[in-house]
Amino acid sequence: MSQFKAHSVLPGFNLALGFTLFYLSLIVLIPLSALFVKSAALGWDGFWHVVTGDRVLASLRVTFLTSFAAALINTFFGLVVAWVLVRYSFPGKRIVDALVDLPFALPTAVAGIILATLYAPNGWLGQYFAAYGIKVAYTPLGIVVALTFIGLPFVVRTVQPVLADIEAEVEEAAASLGAGRWNVFHRVIFPAIYPALLTGFALAFARAIGEYGSVIFIAGNMPFISEIAPLLIVAKLEQYDYAGATTIAVAMLLISFVLLLTINVLQWWSSRRGARE
């Protein structure tokens, strides 16, 4: 054991822990602390006045509702995409698998311009929706489309390896005992992928909350209708209202923390319940 420690390729615990704390402080803790310090310049009354403003509340509502809707959509369709990529072989499978990661590589501003062009009333796709009186671009629906585009890979890449680890023999055994397709999915597959699915939802939701580049081109950015909170933060920065911008950012951070903590608690509770069963 002592010989292994002496020749270990990894640094010792003290050095590794010190580097970890230094790195996290430099990258995460110090910027977040500066955010709280800057917003504290307004005082509690000023902070509450900014956060409860009608325009700020409307932008927060648009941001979180559209992010939640996009994460739900990605959870369902991400599971379908992951299932197809894991369980089936077809021509062009590698291309489809690579396309899933496209939102990671594509600049968000480029994605926003492309989506706005496609879903505009006279766009390639938007014209068909417009024929039925549905307006996608420059509405909250357009925001959901953009957030769905950038969030899909998080769900697919989280669920895909878990599905790959589930052996087909388990499903065949359940089917041989008389279980139908729904029972096989509900009682065998879903409990195994549920933690990964919930993690993918949380990642997609968190990514959508802070998205800016792909949204501003398709949202329309109309106050009280399709204006997102990140855009309002940028607007206040352009007006040199740094305290107001950081106040909105702190409000988003606190709400996001509570929501993600709730999701993690649900995941922990479900895993403990599954272990007891």
The string of pLDDT tens digits covering residues 39-82 is 888 888 888 999 999 999 999 999 999 999 999 999 999 999 99
H-helix or E-strand spanning residue 204: helix 190-209
If one counts every other C-beta atom within 10 angstroms of the C-beta of residue 4, the result is 7
Least trusted range by pLDDT, from 152-166, 206-220, 229-243, 256-270: 256-270
Give the helix ranges, DSSP H, for 25-92: 30-39, 43-51, 54-87
Q: What is the pTM of this model?
A: 0.85
- Residue 108: name the closest of 150, 63, 153 by CA: 150
Predicted local distance difference test score (pLDDT) of residue 34: 84
The Cα–Cα gap between 129 and 273 comes to 45
> What is residue 43's predicted lDDT score, i.e. its pLDDT?
86
4, pLDDT greater than 50: no
Torsion angle, alpha carbons of 225, 231, 235, 238, to 10: -160
Query: Dihedral (C-alpha) 113, 74, 63, 248: value to the nearest 10 degrees?
Result: -100
pLDDT digits (tens, 9 = 90+) for 160-206: 999 988 877 777 777 776 777 777 777 778 888 888 999 899 999 99
Residue labelled with tokens 């369709």? 77
Contact between 195 and 158 under an 8 Å Cβ cutoff? The reply is no
Give me the pLDDT at residue 170, please.
73
Tell me whether residue 157 is exposed, middle or buried, using C-beta atoms within 10 angstroms of its C-beta: 0 to 12, 13 to 18, 19 or more.
middle
Kindly compute the dihedral angle of the four CA atoms of residues 230, 231, 232, 234, in this order, to the nearest 10 degrees.
90
